[in-house]
Chains A and B, each alone.
Chain A
Amino acid sequence: MEKIFSRPKSLRNISTHYCPGCGHGIAHRLIAGVVDELGIRDKVIAIAPVGCAVLAYDYWDFDCTEAAHGRALAVATAIKRVRPQNIVFTYQGDGDLAAIGTNETIHAANRGENLTVIFINNAVYGMTGGQMAPTTLLGQKTATSPLGRNAQREGYPLKISEVLSQLSGVKYIERTSFYSPQEILKAKRAIKLAFQNQIEGIGFSLVEILSPCPTYWDMSPQKAMEWIANIMIKEFPLGRIK
């Protein structure tokens, strides 16, 4: 019988450390699939963030490095400048990309570095126990906003993709989500385009993914997906931003 669906070659066959219902596993798999489809496994260099996905290199079967918290795009900039023949991407969470690393993010984007950025927005810090993230929604309760995020006290959810879209160096930004199989397929198409852009030398491309964190949203995996579909996309509208 012909095998029509299997684990991507770029994804190692190991059991996951992520929580049930976590979106990282989906994102890892989509990236591995795109790397396979584009035939770039032996050219890819990934930069894993600090956060739950720091162990991404345990899953991907290609060259990877860690980066200090927030510095992934500085590391990626240098790797790509030194080895323009390679395909370099960062995989970053909201705290990494839009709080501690905002400076690196904005300036790598503004320089128009020919890089691919996969930005996982789950509106909390997962690794450290569910603290408030720059993308935490108003009213959302976290370990460090126990009464719910309040605009007067903690400011508004940071729409970093919209901010970045203002920069001339940025060529492609799309916000996607994982709340349904159709949305996951859209996310995969966006990831593929972001890699193709780099291959063709088009420039800085970023895919934001609204991704579930059932553990720190205090929801079942199914409820978490519904929360993205019904609540989160109101604050973070899906679609192509640039």
Chain B
Amino acid sequence: MVKDKRILMTGNEAIAEGAIQAGCRFYAGYPITPQNELTAYMAKHMPERDGIFIQAESELSAINMVFGASAAGVRAMTSSSSPGISLKQEGISYLAGTELPSVIVNMMRGGPGLGNIAPAQSDYFQATRGGGHGDYHSIVLSPSSVEEAYNFMFLAFDLADKYRNPVIILGDGMIGQMMEPLELTAVSCQLSAEYKKPWALTGCKARLPNIIRSLFLAEGALEERNLKLQKKYKEIQKAEQRLEELFSSDAEFILVAYGGMARIVKGTVKKLREKGFRAGLIRPITLWPFPQAGITQILNRLHRKKHLPIFLVVEMSYGQMLEDVKLAVDGKAKVEFLGRAGGGIPTEEEIINKIRRNGKNLFSS
């Protein structure tokens, strides 16, 4: 009998383990539910694996510790949940402005304000639009399973180093706290050595001093800096869009969902197929850059076959990713929406009912 190499972990623990295997050597965090297992895992495992763990005095301090560790040249990360991530926004803006590679995990919970600790997806705008002040973007990855959360840590640190940019893992309480079996394969941690960091602060031995700054006061200097950042963002948009599609080649209606929500939607799509409805799924994996090109491609393919699909966006929010889907579809198809937040999660039944209500127009024509 082949031994099953899989082990059972929560998403929070899998992310922590993935980060350590991906070469993360500095972690700072502050307690907040539903991501505490991640911090506890780091507290236990970082010191014994050549890493540094600090429980910071605040979220502000934690993100600025990540700033310092990254400036000193190591792979660094922090994690939190929605209210804590709001506190980190200033720091993320500085990380973007100084182009310091960094990974930030947000296990989203219900808001606004203190909200509650139930899973939510209400921080999509904050994550994908910058979130802090200034014209910038973080790269945003959305895991939909514990195993994917683990695998994304290698990708996250690689993307952070490659583009010298903050990367956000946008999960939710569901992804963070559920347990699933996974195999710890250390998919791509060898990549870390490829990224040399000649800009890092190590002491100016046998080289000119390095300066890390986001302040540019000379006339035109900040605009120049911004244009450089915008050029980088365009490169990222071109090279890093990712999505998963299912049954989209002949779909009459396409459900769009990400992260934890996509698991329920995927099950619903399969059920609809079994019942003979031509349902398809698009699951954006990168939320920024949003997989606009893939959606356009799917839509064009369907149009060539004379299919006119209707899109149904399902979120644990009141319509945030919806805006990106509408931009991607660009008026070429109808886009419907179903969303709940504050602890409510759209159910399979609600999704099917939503389709049936619109179904009259859909199937009668």
Contact = CB atoms under 8 A, between A and B. Distances in A.
A193 interface: no
Interface residues of A, number: 35
A78 B209 contact: no
B212 A81 contact: no
A47 B94 CA distance: 14
B56 interface: yes
Interface string B189-211: 00000000000011111100111
A65 B64 contact: no
A63 B68 contact: no
A65 B214 CA distance: 9
Name A's interface SS: mixed
Interface string B17-46: 000000001101000000000000000000
A78 B67 contact: yes
Contact of A45 (B28, B62, B72, B215): B72
A16 B347 CA distance: 65
Contacts of B355: none
Interface stretch (A25-33, A67-75, A154-162, A195-203): A67-75
Given A63-B202, A65-B211, A75-B68, A103 B57 contact: yes
Given A65-B211, A81-B26, A103-B61, A75 B67 contact: yes
Given A66-B214, A75-B68, A82-B72, A103 B58 contact: yes
A75 B57 contact: no
A68 B26 contact: no
Contacts of B57: 103-104, 106-107
Interface of A: 41-45, 47, 54-55, 57, 60-68, 70-71, 74-79, 81-83, 86-87, 103-104, 106-107
15 contacts: A45-B72, A45-B202, A45-B203, A63-B210, A64-B212, A74-B62, A74-B64, A74-B67, A78-B69, A79-B68, A81-B69, A82-B73, A86-B201, A103-B61, A107-B56
